[in-house]
């Protein structure tokens, strides 16, 4: 049985798919009373969209969807309390799919091949797609402050609703600096893929990357050392749209936020956005702790030796003054030997 579904993209990143097709169960769904009494055959195809990269890197089931449990849950719904419409059954299945961690989107097709029609037919189906931006039931899983709203930055046709200066798009692309790091799994490979993902986001262009460095954890539970780098981009997005895109990429690569300052597959922070200064519940610019972090300032100074940063002045001097440094893992990384000219100042 074939169930072709369109790719699901978020922040310019195409998600992977895990499919369970042709789940067959006797159910009692239907408008007619005889359908609800006698029952008939129902089938369901379910495709969930998520990133499987963390699971592939760790070979651990908890980083993906257990398709056996998913199939059991779908079968429960097909065989469970009757609904009049298979549209309702499909919606219940979509809702159940979001009970599984890391699912960002689901496609569901429900088949009713024994429907009481008055003509010969092959099948009756209802097909739906739901994602975490549009499904009210998963509002707690939405990414960023704007996700799911009319100004959703991942909807290229949406017009922004300006609530504060962080929602204002620049008149032309402006420089911004991102810090990336992680300490779970194949970190260097994850960071490389994240940079590639950033470059695919509409309105974002990766201009240069710093050396890759190793740093000790700062706070939190005992955990492995981190690999870190900074990335110079130019962007036509608003600061909040950029934040949403970064958080989307984090989720694609298995970021969990269960333990404060705990280990993570990846972290992406906005350090500076064209020198903008501001404070909101979801974002502060420039990054309030960047001036204390050698794993930000040291690779930044190596990438852009003359760079300045409002809170500290010359970045190279501020990096040298910090008591704890970093260890360079790769001087030219990830293969961008000729960085773009740095901006004159971020003040």
Q: Which of 29, 92, 112, 234 is catalytic?
A: 112
Catalytic residue list contains 112: yes
* Cβ–Cβ < 8 Å for 242, 157: no
DSSP sequence for 28-60: --SSSHHHHHH-EEEEEEEEEEE--HHHHHHT-
Decide: 286 and 300 in contact? Cβ < 8 Å: no
User: How many CB atoms lie under 10 A from the CB of residue 289?
Assistant: 13
Helices then strands, each counted (H, E), the chain: 8, 16
Q: Are 13 and 53 in contact (CB under 8 A)?
A: no
Q: Where are the beta strands (DSSP E) in the chain?
A: 9-10, 13-14, 16-27, 40-50, 105-111, 125-131, 174-182, 204-209, 212-215, 226-235, 267-273, 278-279, 284-285, 308-309, 313-314, 327-330
Burial of 188 (0-12, 13-18, 19+ CB in 10 A): middle
d(CA 326, CA 185): 20
Query: Can you say how many angstroms the Cα of residue 296 is from the centroid of all Cα atoms in its chain?
Result: 23
Question: 272 with 177: CB under 8 angstroms?
Answer: yes
Catalytic residues: 112
């Amino acid at each position: 049985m074939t169930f072709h579904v369109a790719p699901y993209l978020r922040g310019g990143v195409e998600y992977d798919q895990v499919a369970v097709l042709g789940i067959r169960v006797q159910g009692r769904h239907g408008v007619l009373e005889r359908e609800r009494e006698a029952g008939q055959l129902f089938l369901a195809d379910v495709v969930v969209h998520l990133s499987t990269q963390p699971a592939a890197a760790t070979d651990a089931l908890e980083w993906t969807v257990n398709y056996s449990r998913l199939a059991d849950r779908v079968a429960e719904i097909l065989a469970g309390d009757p609904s009049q419409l298979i549209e309702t059954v499909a919606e219940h299945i979509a809702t159940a799919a979001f009970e599984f961690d890391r699912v960002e989107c689901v496609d569901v097709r429900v088949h009713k091949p024994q429907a009481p029609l008055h003509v010969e037919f092959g099948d009756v189906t209802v097909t739906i797609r739901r994602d975490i931006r549009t499904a009210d039931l998963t509002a707690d899983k939405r990414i960023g402050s704007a996700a799911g709203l009319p100004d959703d930055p991942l909807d290229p046709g949406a017009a922004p609703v300006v609530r504060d200066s962080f929602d204002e798009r620049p008149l032309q692309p402006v420089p911004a600096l991102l810090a990336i790091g992680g300490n779970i799994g194949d970190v260097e490979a994850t960071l490389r893929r994240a940079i590639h993902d950033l470059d695919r986001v509409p309105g974002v262009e990766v201009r240069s990357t710093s050396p890759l460095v190793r740093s000790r954890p700062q706070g939190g539970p005992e955990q492995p050392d981190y690999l870190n780098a900074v990335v110079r981009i130019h962007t036509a997005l608003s600061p909040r749209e950029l934040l949403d895109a970064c958080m989307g990429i984090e989720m694609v690569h298995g970021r969990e936020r269960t333990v404060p300052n705990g280990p993570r597959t990846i972290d992406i922070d906005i350090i500076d956005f064209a020198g903008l200064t501001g404070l909101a519940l979801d974002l502060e610019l420039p990054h309030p702790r960047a001036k204390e972090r050698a794993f930000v300032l040291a690779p930044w100074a190596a990438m852009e030796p003359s760079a300045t940063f409002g809170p500290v002045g010359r970045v190279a001097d501020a990096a040298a003054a910090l008591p704890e440094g970093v260890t360079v893992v790769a001087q030219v990384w990830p293969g961008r030997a000729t960085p773009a000219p740095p901006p004159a100042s971020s003040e």
